[in-house]
Amino acid sequence: MVQKLGRLKESPSQTAGPYVHIGTNPNFIGIHGLYAADLGSETVPEAVRGERIVVTGRVFDGGGNILKDALIEIWQADADGLYPGRGEHRGAADPAFTGWARQPVDGVTGDFRFETIKPGSAPYFDGRPMAPHITFWIVARGINIGLHTRLYFGDEEEANATDPVLTRIEHRGRVPTLIAARSDDSGQPTYTFDIHLQGDKETVFFDI
Partner 1 sequence: MRNDNASYQDGAFFQRDRAWHPPAFTPEYKTSVLRSPQKALLSLGNTISEMTGPVFGHDMLGPLDNDLIRNYATTGDPIGPRIIVYGRVLDENARPVPGALVEFWQANAGGRYRHKKETYLAAIDPNFGGCGRTITDEEGRYWFRTIKPGAYPWPNGVNDWRPAHIHFSVFGHAFAQRLITQMYFEGDPMIWQCPIVMSIPSREAVETLVAALDRAASLPMDTLAYKFDIVLRGSRATMFENRKEGN
Cα end-to-end distance, the chain, whole Å: 32
Q: How far is the CB of 14 from partner 1 (least distance, A)?
A: 4
Torsion, Cα 185 80 148 157, to 10 degrees, reads 50
Considering the complex, what minimum distance in angstroms separates the CB of residue 22 from partner 1? 4
Shortest spacing between CB 144 and partner 1, in angstroms: 4
Contact partners, residue 27, CB within 8 Å, separation at least 6 = 35, 37, 38, 41
Looking at the DSSP assignment, which residues form a beta bridge with residue 183?
190
**Residue closer to partner 1 (CB basis): 35 or 52:** 35
Nearer to partner 1, 53 or 140 (CB): 140
Residue from 194, 193, 166 nearest 182 by CA: 193
Closest to partner 1 by CB, 115 vs 183, is 115
In degrees and rounded to multiples of 5, residue 176 shows phi and psi of -60, -20
Q: Which is nearer to partner 1, 53 or 147 (CB)?
A: 147
Q: How far is the CB of 190 from partner 1 (least distance, A)?
A: 23
